[in-house]
Amino acid sequence: MKSIFLQALNKEKTKRPPVWFMRQAGRILPSYLELRDSYSFRELMDNPKLASKVTRLPLHELDVDAAILFSDILVIPESLGMNVKFLNDGPKFNKLIEIDNYNDNLLKFESKSLEYIYENIKQTKKDLHSKPLIGFCGGPLTVFIFMFKKNNSIKEFHSIIKNIYTHRKKCKKILEKITEASIEYVENQIENGIDCFQLFETYCGLIPEDLYFDLIMPYATLIMEAAKKKGCKTIFFPKNLSTGLRRIQPEMCDYVSVDWQINLEIAREILNKKIGIQGNMDPRLFFSSNKEIDSYLFSLKSFGKKNNNWIFNLGHGFIPGIEKEKVERVVKWIKNHNWER
């Protein structure tokens, strides 16, 4: 039986929207937390059988329509020679980039450092059978910011963004390194079996729209074009891009995933009609009552009826503390509701 997720990506008519969630492999799943009692994040990611198991958990436990590779966007800085540790309170680099001391010799791409992920993909595809697998990497701006970021304070973000204005040439050199590594990474993901590729530009909204499209979007487009040239469908997640969605062209991606800060109807209205849309439930809504969640879901009925090229997802990833049962309930609602298409 053909995957409804792949049908939607190919703009084929479906009876309902496909459903999957960002950060579905982890956080809200007790079975994942049990694995974390025995293995570190790094150990799970480094072992093909364990990575495959974690990737597949949401298919069995939430009944979603697609799996997303269990990995992390920081494997790209790591492949460029930056040492990262995945700790319980978040990832930490041994040494961050300092713009004043930066030179091209500091970042050297080591392709072989990513081979374990390709093994994970092969193992996962073998275990998934016919279920689709989504691969991904971080957007160029998002990865760039992580390579400088000491913490999540507003002051820290201001300091990093200031570099873009004061050291434009050096920043472009770093963005070029990130993009070159990301292109090879996505090409190898496709060659090893992923069915779809998503680019996570989580920090898109930290800079002005014009600056993003002038400086960053050419690099993001190169990454997505590399996937499209390989025949792989692409989803672009430019978080907080807001009305800048209107500037995204079909040549750049097949679908755009939108965050919860823009109304879904408005996002659809300003987005190019040839581009599909994904999103955009606020994950914090899962902390409310079933009645409130149902009210939100019913509010999507009209949108879902008239928009065939829509994939149900979150406006960003799951956050800790969400009850798995509430997520299961939403999946069942999406799957069992009569969308009158």
- pLDDT, tens digit, 9 for 90 and up, residues 105-121: 999 999 999 999 999 99
Q: Which two tokens stand for residue 234?
A: 């692409």
Q: Which two tokens stand for residue 10?
A: 């190919």
User: What average pLDDT does the chain have?
Assistant: 95
CATH topology for the 4-284+308-320 domain: TIM Barrel (3.20.20)
Using DSSP bridges, classify how beta strands 90-93 and 84-87 pair: parallel, antiparallel or unpaired.
Answer: antiparallel
Backbone angles phi, psi at 280, to 5 degrees: -145, 45
The one-letter code for the residue type at 84 is V
Whether 27 shows a pLDDT value over 90: the answer reads no
Rounded Cα distance between 121 and 145, Å, is 27
Residue 332 near residue 45 (C-beta atoms within 8 A): no
Confidence of residue 122 (pLDDT cuts 50, 70, 90): very high
Q: Which two tokens stand for residue 308?
A: 């065939």
Domains of the chain, residue spans: 4-284+308-320
Query: How many other C-beta atoms can be found within 10 angstroms of the C-beta atom of residue 277?
Result: 22
Write down the pLDDT at residue 150.
85
Whether 130 shows a pLDDT value over 90: the answer reads no
Residue 253 near residue 227 (C-beta atoms within 8 A): no
Give the predicted TM-score (pTM) of the model: 0.96
Write down the pLDDT at residue 28.
92
Q: What string of DSSP letters covers 142-162?
A: HHHHHTT-SSS-HHHHHHHHH
What is the chain's Cα-based Rg? 19
Confidence of residue 1 (pLDDT cuts 50, 70, 90): low
Confidence of residue 326 (pLDDT cuts 50, 70, 90): very high
Residue 4 to residues 208, 254, 277, 281, 316, Cα–Cα distance (Å):
36, 16, 15, 20, 22
